[in-house]
Amino acid sequence: MKTTLKALALSAALALPVLANAADDALVKRGEYLSKAGDCIACHSAPRGKPFAGGLPMMTPMGAIYSTNITPDQQTGIGQYSEDDFKRAMREGVAKDGHNLYPAMPYPSYAKIDDDDMHALYAYFMNGVTPVKQANREPDIKWPLNMRWPLKVWNMVFLDKGVYRDKPGKDVAWNRGAYLIQGLGHCGSCHTPRGVAFQEKALDESGSAYLTGGLLDNWFASNLTGEHNVGLGRWSEADVAQFLKTGANQHASAFGAMTSVINNSTQAMTDGDVAAMSRYLKSLPAAGGSGGPAYVYDAATTKVSLTRPANDAGARVYTAYCMHCHGADGRGFAPMLAPLAGNPNVLEKDASSLINVTLNGTEDLVIGGVPAPYPMPRYADVLNDQQIADVLTFVRGGWRNGAASVGASDVAKVRKATQASR
């Protein structure tokens, strides 16, 4: 009997580290999931660089800044950060040595992350990420604009340090979606317009500018409110969920920075979290847009012009380069090939994204390890500024889209800016 009890006690003692390790592994795994929800790898990994080792250039009005090494390397990464140091950097934008981070790091959003999730993220970055010895690159911002002390004032004015609190009267799914969109997902960092101090004009649905679209790095991140023409007004919750999971639906396809979000983040999220995000987004009232009449499809006039392309410079370019994918009816072959008729990105007043994607194409959407078969090709070396302006004017006016024309000078501006950033 004593032998049996000793054996049981020894067995239990030996099992304790196993149980602890299992708990630690689960915490790291949860942190990995949260890092994907936050799309951390997209900004903190340079092209052909090591994961999370930093070095990705980001253009600002003052010059380029470069993302930092957030691997647990002791010398060049965050290996010496305590959990409190980590939380301070995430929520307040202050590094371990006390210097302020630029708000290109979305700490105004990450401030809403709760303590449990912050603990899991810290466990992952300290124990689940491979250390990489790679020194951080200094920003290409000249003195005196490179001084960091004004960021302390910026934080005093624009940073709300409170974690997300559930809104009364809203169900569990809505609050989960709000937490993810406003916090880890930091959707407002791109999709909310910024003020003169580079601050987001709103951090949640209480502000009328929240998620109404914003110009950033030569892309216009689209309106995510219920606006009928340029927003999600014609999308169902299922449409939003399909887009977040696959990067395409009957209305539009992802391009630009959103491709990276789909590839590295939202497709890896659980169906429950994606559904919650869709629920929250579809609850947002219409805001932004041009205030024009609701879009109604009509292809008749456009089809006539396509049968007489010699009379229209834009129609000539469209029939030669675009029609085989997007169709004479402008409806494409969704979700594989994006529609242009009624596409929110086509209807948007700011044509920056259309110009950019026509000039530079887009990276492959890779869903479940399989690249999308028909990525948008690059036409910068094929079409001149006037030809691109002509075809985009044709597209924005066709199928009753009714959007403003594009000038060759608009194309030249984006061409110059995107060439400089390559």
Please report, for the domain that includes residue 366, its CATH number: 1.10.760.10
Which among 256, 257, 237, 259 is positioned nearest to 248, based on CA atoms? 259
Q: How far is 219 from 236, CA to CA, in rounded Å?
A: 25
**Binding site annotation covers 99?**
no
**Binding site annotation covers 191?**
yes
Going from the C-alpha of 228 to that of each of 271, 287, 332, the distances in angstroms are: 26, 9, 20
Q: Find the domain containing 46 and state its range.
A: 21-132+140-163
**Binding site annotation covers 119?**
no
Within-domain flag for 358: yes
**Binding site annotation covers 326?**
yes
Higher pLDDT, 360 or 421: 360
Instruction: Report percent pLDDT > 70 for the chain.
Output: 94
**pLDDT, averaged across the chain:** 92
Q: How far is 202 from 232, CA to CA, in rounded Å?
A: 19
Specify whether the CB–CB gap between 166 and 112 falls below 8 A: no
Within-domain flag for 384: yes
Predicted confidence at residue 88, as pLDDT, reads 97
Predicted confidence at residue 142, as pLDDT, reads 81
Radius of gyration of the chain (CA): 24
Within-domain flag for 282: no
Within-domain flag for 105: yes
Within-domain flag for 280: no
Task: Report, as an integer, the average pLDDT of 10-35.
Answer: 72
Residue 145: pLDDT above 90? no
Sign of CA dihedral 71, 73, 78, 80: positive
Residue 329: pLDDT above 90? yes
Specify whether the CB–CB gap between 166 and 175 falls below 8 A: yes
Structural domains in the chain (count):
2
**Binding site annotation covers 186?**
no
